[in-house]
Amino acid sequence: MPPTPPARVLVIVPAWNEQDSVVATINEIRTTNPSIDVLVIDDGSLDATAQRAAAAGALVCRLPFNLGVGGAMRAGFRYAQRHDYDVAVQVDADGQHDPSYLPTLVAALDDADVVIGSRFAGPDATYTVRGPRRWAMVLLGRVLSRLAHTTVNDATSGFRAADRRAIGVFAAHYPAEYLGDTVESLVIALRTGCTIRQVPVQMRPRTAGTASASPVRAAIYLFRAVVALTLALVRRWPTQVAANEPVGQAVDTTVTLPAGQSVGRP
């Protein structure tokens, strides 16, 4: 019996005006596996994000205007589906996601369709959040844990891996609304028959740019989290999606090779 070939893994890096951090992110991803494919989704950046990503050796999908993380990730999942990848992993371009955890996330897909890198899991967890943002995370975690029949205490983590089944679901249904790319996407995965688990990870400060935070923004976050969860729960989704079932159509964008050559539609 011939040996099973290794899984084809695509790392999707959504990026908006991340020219100062995207190259370091790509290089760090490559240290985990020099042959791994990295697709940077340039989400309507106004700086040199796309050019620097291509020069660093990544595939680059340029969106004509800013769609947000959800829209960028849907484009990435459609590319992964069209090009027959076994696994797709989201790694943010700002340096907060540590690529050294990529093997852990991918290995955990042996027992689930979606794996979340949780900042709050494990005995060594040091990440803390206070105020309305923490209240929102606790609420989201409790509801999603009940739906998933397993612990989900970091529903807003974007550091995730998806297998073929989840790639098909997300290629067709990945939400673009704020918090939809994290909270609602998990509800969609569960409603379509996917299984979810989490693994402990450590996250880092941004290597470039400035994260926005204030009491007002925290209160708005809490309100939006509740709305996102409510909408996700009341919407109707397909009940089951087979692992190899084609779902949706490929996105009509252009992907550029590192050398600057166009490979057309993904």
Region of poorest pLDDT, from 52-61, 84-93, 125-134, 143-152:
125-134
pLDDT at 212: 44
Most confident of 4-8, 41-45, 67-71, 180-184: 41-45
CA-CA-CA-CA torsion sign (8, 95, 60, 34): negative
Distance, in Å, from the CA atom of 162 to the CA atom of 10, rounded to the nearest integer, reads 10
Distance, in Å, from the CA atom of 59 to the CA atom of 32, rounded to the nearest integer, reads 17
pLDDT at 1: 52
The string of pLDDT tens digits covering residues 146-171 is 889 999 999 889 999 999 999 999 99
Rg of the chain on CA atoms, in Å:
18
pLDDT at 77: 98
Phi, psi of 180 (to 5 degrees): -65, -35
Region of 187 please: left (phi>0), alpha (psi -120 to 50) or beta: alpha
Region of poorest pLDDT, from 132-141, 165-174, 242-251:
242-251
Q: Which amino acid is at 167?
A: I
Q: Which amino acid is at 186?
A: L
9-256 is classed CATH 3.40.640.10: no
pLDDT reading at 204 higher than 90: no
Record the tokens describing residue 171, joined without a space. 């290629």
Strands 114-118 and 87-90, bridge-based pairing: unpaired
Are residues 46 and 19 in contact, defined by beta-carbon separation less than 8 angstroms?
no
- Where are the strands (E) in 119-207, listed by range? 160-162, 196-200
* Confidence tier at 213 by pLDDT (50, 70, 90): very low
User: Which residues does residue 217 pair with via DSSP β-bridges, in sequence order?
Assistant: none
pLDDT at 217: 63
The string of pLDDT tens digits covering residues 9-51 is 999 999 999 999 999 999 999 999 998 999 999 999 999 999 9
Averaged pLDDT of the chain: 83
SS3 233: helix
What are the boundaries of each domain within the chain? 9-256
Higher pLDDT, 203 or 1: 203
Q: Which amino acid is at 69?
A: V
pLDDT at 263: 43
Phi, psi of 247 (to 5 degrees): -130, 125
The pTM of this model reads 0.84
* Confidence tier at 4 by pLDDT (50, 70, 90): low
The string of pLDDT tens digits covering residues 125-139 is 666 666 777 777 788
User: Which residues does residue 161 pair with via DSSP β-bridges, in sequence order?
Assistant: 89, 115
- Those residues with Cβ within 8 angstroms of residue 138's Cβ, 6 or more apart along the chain or in another chain: none
